[in-house]
Chains A and B, each alone.
Chain A
């Protein structure tokens, strides 16, 4: 029997158990997308002679725990301890191309691919053992990295693999391992944490190569500016300065010691700066974006009869400012130009797209560029990671053979990172005589939510070379994922509902993907509006949602959060104390997340405190429940920071949020008193990423709680002390509210 024939036979034999158990890998007989793109098993899994297994993923550890969760998936399916697995993450020389690590896709994409690949490999190993033992494959038990026969004979994976080629294509319908202990669903401690709490080498910032030089890139204070001409000859004479690298408008300084590079940078910036782009409009940029020419894109169109003539219309308008990723560690990369090859150690979320962009920038064949992912500080989307990789590569090319470490300064990270776009949402609903929703309109205005580089023009340095590489024209991301339209389609079963995305191409400020893209704004708006409708009809906010929510898993999540919070017994809002609830299913196709929280608003200072938060989350089969809790907890705290404090400031010439004093974020005294996250596990259901699910629900729950506490609705983020105090003034203007 040929290898393929044997595998088919085996697969058929095992399909029986799959059907009986109902725990299948695939809903249909197609390979999951990542595996379809890279179908050979040895691209994903290699079994070494000593029995250790190397697993390859195209996704990157960003502090979200993906290294641990993917190791658990592989260990489970290969029936071996996680300690026997070495996981190699995103590296253009070694791993499959899985695009970018973004959109809460990693478990869905790579987790599912590795699960399938591992099931294939386990089946092949079992089959090899069957031949060696001369018994049927279904009598073999795979356990602890070895195949076991009923009579006690045992062969380790290393020995089995010696005669086995994994250079074969994955079969799509391999059943999952049944029985035995499972590491899926266990809170395996994160594999990356020991180094992080002990001072081990954990980050790209920690790389030290022999002969390594230190560099800084020289730029104006923010995007749209440039430095004035500096006395370069004087700087080149400074102690330790190796070179001032100039290519067109790109400039970097390379020195023997890092502090000397910093001092040289300050000298090169000393002549001042000027604005090189058109002036920034004086008005609030969310208003500017609302008024700019836009392309209309239909987000959704739910059928239904037209609203009755006597329906009353409720309208509201919500907005958010530009937001910053604000990584605690400024972006950094190490690059080395040697033997005609550029190697870049980078914390980019997409090593393959970055390689393509760098190859174009450096005018090299892509094969002559290698991008290796090494962790940086948390990015929460497209921050300076890719730009700094290009900066380091250009600096390294000027000093052949020498590794160059280039880190941005704090002011550069704040000034140049692509921001999360400002957004405006207008909602209108018609309520019939029975207080039922009879019509719904959602309109959202936003810039793009992704300018991730796939070409040299997408990199800051690409626009600085002479001639510059053209900046790619931004395009709206189509639904169901969506960019500015993400989660603009309500999950509620509403009749006669339509949504329009006003995609605004012209960008007053540099923007790109920030955790959740448009979902945070759209969910804030929809879930605030649901509360406003509930109030208009005298309904309980949770009951009102449940009345329009048909999906059973969604309902479970809503009920769990409400129960655990003690929603029915909550204190009536008022006197600065209030409770709020919100729910969303991320992209309406991934993780369900509900948040209930309590606020205390100081009426004198306008400050909001959050004593208690309860969340419930269903992200499919939970591989590492504590990892999911960690992501949701973090998402809630970060979103509360966005929602209560954060707004990027601008003046006519530049971005004015140049450091943490000009862009404050939540600090310890203001974080919630308690945060509880309840994970609803769904064994056998597809993995859904949890990284971005909490951003919208946390923001909206806060807005709803503040409205409950004050009796006044705040619709513009952030719900800052100034806005709270303004809202509480006896005579107040509410330009965005036009009820009736």
Chain B
């Protein structure tokens, strides 16, 4: 039996200790947010937060979690309503197939928690590990900007940075 804390709740699961966290989230805890994309840490579809740091949940054996707390897309809610990032993605219609979007939102969350006013370049380089094949990037960038503003910060243009 392995114990893990996901979105503030403790769970006990009966799986092989080498099972990647992703499979536990999806199959044992029925959380749809994190997706299987590559199993190789190359695409970011499975991104979750481990103690505020974005990680590829496809590469983290569940037994290696220790006391670290897991947050997934499902945990990014405020009072039962979508949090600023999911709301902003909806407002910007920042999805086509949407398979990558949960990973995008979670990775962006990590950035905005740490740096409420990143530059556009910082947003782009922070999101670089995550792939989108539909080409929704421009909308994703707009959604992150909108969310940053809703959270009291913003995304600075490069021009602002170097006048």
Contact = CB atoms under 8 A, between A and B. Distances in A.
B118 interface: no
A193 B98 contact: yes
Nearest to A214: B27
A327 B36 CA distance: 12
Interface in A169-204: 187, 189-190, 192-194, 196-203
B38 interface: yes
Contact of B39 (A190, A378, A409, A626): A409
A392 to B, nearest CB: 15
A167 interface: no
A668 B140 CA distance: 10
A634 interface: yes
A208 interface: yes
A660 B45 CA distance: 13
B23 A259 contact: yes
Nearest to B38: A410
B148 interface: no
A637 B37 contact: no
Interface string B6-29: 000000000110111001001100
A356 interface: no
A672 B140 CA distance: 13
Q: Place the interface of chain A in its size category.
A: 35 or more
Contacts of A196: 95, 98, 101-102
B19 A197 contact: no
Interface string A252-281: 000001111011000000000000000000
B138 A62 contact: no
A328 B45 contact: yes
A302 B95 CA distance: 43
Most buried by B among A203, A329, A669: A329
A259 B20 CA distance: 8
A665 interface: yes
Given A258-B27, A630-B96, A637 B138 contact: yes
B69 interface: no
Nearest to B42: A660
Contacts of B72: 199
B112 interface: no
A674 B138 contact: yes
B114 interface: no
B31 A669 contact: no
A203 B138 contact: no
Given A375-B97, A378-B97, A378-B99, A634 B23 contact: no
B156 to A, nearest CB: 15
A353 B98 CA distance: 26
Most buried by A among B26, B32, B35, B105: B32
A197 B96 contact: no
A696 to B, nearest CB: 15
B131 interface: yes
Contact of A378 (B93, B96, B102): B96
A196 B93 CA distance: 11
Contacts of A578: none
Contacts of B16: 239, 257, 259-260, 263
A198 B82 contact: yes
Contacts of A638: 133-135
Given A190-B95, A239-B16, A378-B97, A669 B33 contact: no
Interface in B131-148: 131-139, 141
B30 interface: yes
Contacts of A106: none
B100 interface: yes
B125 interface: yes
A415 to B, nearest CB: 13
A328 B124 contact: no
A328 B74 contact: no
Interface of A: 62-65, 187, 189-190, 192-194, 196-203, 205-206, 208, 214, 239, 257-260, 262-263, 326-330, 375-378, 380, 407, 409-410, 626, 630-631, 633-638, 641, 659-661, 665-669, 671-672, 674-675
Q: Which 10 A-B pairs have the closest CB atoms?
A: A63-B97, A637-B135, A196-B98, A378-B97, A634-B135, A377-B99, A199-B33, A410-B38, A660-B42, A63-B96
Given A197-B95, A197-B101, 15 more contacts: A62-B97, A190-B93, A193-B95, A197-B73, A197-B98, A202-B32, A203-B32, A257-B27, A259-B18, A378-B97, A633-B136, A635-B135, A660-B38, A661-B42, A669-B124
5 contacts: A63-B96, A187-B93, A257-B16, A659-B40, A671-B135
